Amino acid sequence: MAKIKPFKALRPVRDKVSLVTCRNYDDYSPAELAAWLDFNPYSFLHVINPAYLHAHKVNSEKRFKGVALKYQDFKTEGVFMQEETPVFYLYEIKQKTNTFTGIIAGTAVGDYQNNVIKKHEDTLQYRVEMFKDYLHQTQFNTEPVLITYPDSVAINTFIHLRKQSEPVYEFSTTNKEKHTLWKIDTQSEIDWLQEHFENIPNLYIADGHHRSASAELLLEENKHLGNENLNYFMSFLIAESNVKIYEFNRLIRDLNGHSNADFLMELAKNFTIENKKQELWKPENKFEFGMYLDGNFYALFYKQLDTELSNQAEACSELTKSRLGESILNNLDAQILYEKVLNPLLGIEDLRTDERISYLPGKQPISTIKNKIDEGEFEVGFLLYPSDINEIKVLADNNLIMPPKSTYIEPKFRSGLVVYEL
């Protein structure tokens, strides 16, 4: 049973919301970041990185205290307002080709600890510790964990009907997205949502494993305070059919001493290779890989394709899920590429820390990989076919972890839209 809770959120005042909210800090180029900070005094980027011009001179503790002070400035100046009572929100992100709609709520740290909220990624302890320190110093969070739930006709109907009402926000952003936020504040609606989520046996983290782990660590270190807000972390709950899963493509700086000809010869032991020349080719099915090397695109077809496993990965019945975890993990495209190419041929052992490998979200154009390699920064690039939600769920159900950088999942939440105070 999944427990969700309304909370007394802070959010921008209506006339400033489009100026306040921003994308993830790392999504901005240096020039774009400087422009927003120089010309938009309301941007939440000022809160996230208040000493941006001298960030390299500021240690983490001072930076986090600076974030807290700047956030208080925004509150004092009337940029934010606080809800009078605990509420849920319904939030829609409309892109050119995708529309995402979900519920913003508090989810229970206890559910995370008891595996009601399931995980499919590993975490780095230093990142968990760092974000825990950030939460402790700033006393707020505006980056919800993206969590999926099994599609529910009842919840889908509720969302459809609720979207017919007047929103509290409706605004567009410079990356051509439309954002709409509705407040769910009547007790009957709150009770209804809580009851329906209690009937859902499991939720699944799509994005935000480090944030979830940090919330758990913060609670464990501060249980003695009796702060009820620490028992929950803010989440954006979205039906599993409504998430968009992209792959992470791989860029490698060198061929680990191989010549191009030798590398292709080694690849041919495990892959059927087709030279696509200048065609911007990307995989169309599982067990297919794209490669860009020395000015040419190649299609790589994995030779050890097990048809039964392929079918299992695409559609896992409830009967087979419990015994498919290891098979699906071993047959993830990201795992195959690591075990057959990246590790044995290119000498990459740790996908998280090796400086010879870099990652590019699959939503970026194929030409981006070509350009980076043609410019000489990298030697070879690999394109993968994206995993699906069934693979993620089966692995999570069996307490198994996907290889690092296996999935890039949307939607991405805008910072500063809704704030959960601790």
| Gap between the Cα atoms of 382 and 271, Å rounded | 13
Give helix 187-198 / helix 153-162 axis angle, nearest 10°.
Answer: 160
Helix boundaries (H) for 11-59? 17-20, 30-39, 45-48
Query: What is the rounded CA–CA span in Å between residue 238 and residue 256?
Result: 42
Torsion 372-375-376-382 (CA) sign:
positive
Q: What is the rounded CA–CA span in Å between residue 194 and residue 309?
A: 38
299: phi then psi, degrees, rounded to nearest 5 = -105, 125
Q: Residue 245 contacts by C-beta under 8 Å, 6 or more apart in sequence?
A: 386, 387, 388, 389, 392, 407, 408, 409
pLDDT at 333: 95
Cβ-Cβ contacts under 8 Å for 29 (sequence gap 6 or more): none
DSSP for 316-356, please give it: --HHHHHHHHHHHHHT-HHHHHIIIIITTTT----TTT-TT
pLDDT on residue 54: 55
Query: For each of the chain's 422 residues, which pLDDT tens digit applies?
Result: 899 999 999 999 999 999 999 998 888 888 988 899 999 999 999 999 876 555 556 788 888 999 999 999 999 999 999 999 999 999 999 999 999 999 999 999 999 999 999 999 999 999 999 999 999 999 999 999 999 999 999 999 999 999 999 999 999 999 999 999 999 999 999 999 999 999 999 999 999 999 999 999 999 999 888 899 999 999 999 999 999 999 999 999 999 999 999 999 999 999 999 999 999 999 999 999 999 999 999 999 999 864 444 454 444 444 445 455 678 888 899 999 999 999 999 999 999 889 999 999 999 999 999 999 999 999 999 999 999 999 999 999 999 999 999 999 999 999 999 999 99
Backbone angles phi, psi at 402, to 5 degrees: -75, 155
Assess whether the previous peptide bond of 201 is cis (omega < 30° from 0).
no
Position 325 scores a pLDDT of 67
pLDDT value at residue 14: 96
393: tokens are 């769920």
pTM (2 decimals)? 0.91
Q: Which two three-digit tokens encode residue 358?
A: 């870099």
Q: Domain map of the chain by residue range? A: 4-244+411-421, 248-406
Contact 131, 214 (CB under 8 A): yes
What is the chain's Cα-based Rg? Answer: 23
